[in-house]
Amino acid sequence: AQTVTQSQPEMSVQEAETVTLSCTYDTSENNYYLFWYKQPPSRQMILVIRQEAYKQQNATENRFSVNFQKAAKSFSLKISDSQLGDTAMYFCALVVGSQGNLIFGKGTKLSVKP
């Protein structure tokens, strides 16, 4: 069975600072993909960043980057220069190549303070 664990239910950060959200996962598959999704209050879930497990290079998208440690099964998200609009629930998710559905963690509620 596949699992995703987010151990930080809530975090806060000052505007313009950097914050790191943690995620660990478990799967016995070799072919999988990892995602961070953002769910703003009362708004739709949107993709933040995606990582293919076979790629060693960490994915980056503007202010968002990941630290993918495959052996440790760790996939943390770093948000640089935090903005008020980054306030949201952040979900780490796993897709196993033989299936297609996302397996989500319980989420981390991030608050960016002015």
Partner 1 sequence: GAGVSQSPRYKVAKRGQDVALRCDPISGHVSLFWYQQALGQGPEFLTYFQNEAQLDKSGLPSDRFFAERPEGSVSTLKIQRTQQEDSAVYLCASSLFGLAKGHEQYFGPGTRLTVT
Q: Which residues bind partner 1 (CB under 8 A)?
A: 4, 32-33, 35, 37, 43-47, 50, 52, 91, 93, 95, 97-107
Q: To the nearest whole angstrom, how small is the minimum distance from the Cβ of residue 59 to partner 1?
A: 12
Looking at beta carbons only, is 65 or 104 nearer to partner 1? 104
- The owner of tokens 């993709």 is 47
Q: To the nearest whole angstrom, how small is the minimum distance from the Cβ of residue 47 to partner 1?
A: 5
Looking at beta carbons only, is 55 or 113 nearer to partner 1? 55
Q: Extract the tokens encoding 56.
A: 């060693």
Which phi-psi region, left, alpha or beta, contains residue 81 (left: φ > 0; alpha: ψ -120 to 50)?
A: left
Q: Which amino acid is residue 1, in one-letter code?
A: A
Q: Rounded distance, CA 17 to CA 99, Å?
A: 37
Q: To the nearest whole angstrom, how small is the minimum distance from the Cβ of residue 14 to partner 1?
A: 25
